[in-house]
Amino acid sequence: MSDLKGYRKPWWHTQPEYVHPAYGSTVKRGPLQPLIEIPATLSEVTGPVFSATTIGKHAADLTAGHAGESIGERIIVTGRVLDENGKALSNTLLEIWQCNAAGRYLHEGDLHDAPLDPNFTGLGQVVTDAEGRYRFTTIRPGEYPWRNHYNAWRPAHIHFSLFGEAFAQRLVTQMYFPGDPLLPFDPIFNCIADEKARNRLVSSLDWENSKSEFALAYRFDIVLRGRHQTPWEK
């Protein structure tokens, strides 16, 4: 068997280092030894595929499925999932989670003194269409304090988890909102040295997908690693 085509390495400074002291928890949790480079084998170019997974009836609408209306500003989040070669990733699962409009997660570890919303769980699942597009409806998440440093506040964000087509493509990330004044102060957002890469985590207001009299839309495109190609190969 011939050796497999691997995945592109990250562009310089566009992915975080494991230890980023401004984000205190990384200091004792991030690996310190250099990573060992290995060639992509069958184990990394394959991976679990969840397009056939049964996802919940309300999975693409985080405001639905409860007894009443979720509190907060309803928004639509939409975008495309592509790889670094520009290929749309169809039928790919996105797992989504977030806090409520008051900045509180439905989790026993979240002790922030803000109300829970009985009509908001903060869990979503969507699968991309043939062009790699996804779309879900939710509530704009609130900002909340965390104990990383004195008066530390996380900017509003939504968590995303993607498997893509291969174990090598696994990505967990966070989407932020344009103009959030907390962004310059957030050590998690600022863990990426490359400013342009960092700013690609900030969604943009999307008039085309906004629904008049209903909800504003935010666009967040996601790029997973692409495989090496020979020039012009498609």
- What residues numbered 51-90 form the site for another protein, per CB under 8 A? 53, 55-56, 80, 82-86
Buried b / exposed e over 56-90, threshold 16 CB at 10 Å, is eebbbbbbeeeeeebebebbbbbbbbbbbeebebe
Closest-CA residue to 172 (of 15, 47, 20): 15
User: How many residues at the interface with another protein, by CB under 8 A?
Assistant: 90
Angle at the Cα of 68 from the Cα atoms of 67 and 73, rounded to 5 degrees: 140
In this structure, what token pair is assigned to residue 30? 């991030």
190-229 residues near another protein, rule: CB under 8 A = 191-192, 196-198, 200-201, 221-226
* Binding positions for another protein, 25-54, rule CB under 8 A: 25-33, 35-50, 53
Q: Does 111 bind another protein (CB under 8 A)?
A: no
Q: Is 42 helix (H, G, I), strand (E, B) or coil?
A: helix
Q: Which CB, 49 or 114, lies closer to another protein? A: 49
**Is residue 122 part of the contact set for another protein (CB under 8 A)?**
yes
Is residue 16 involved in binding another protein (CB under 8 A)? yes
Q: Give Cβ neighbours of residue 139 (< 8 Å, ≥ 6 apart).
A: 62, 63, 70, 71, 72, 73, 74, 75, 100, 101, 120
Q: Is 168 in the site for another protein (CB under 8 A)?
A: yes
Tokens 């968590």 -> residue = 159
Least distance (Å) between residue 45 CB and another protein: 5
Enzyme catalytic residues: 105, 144, 154, 157, 159
Instruction: For the CB of residue 174, give the shortest distance to another protein in the complex, in Å.
Output: 4
Stretch that binds another protein, among 69-77, 134-142, 165-173, 205-213 (CB under 8 A): 165-173
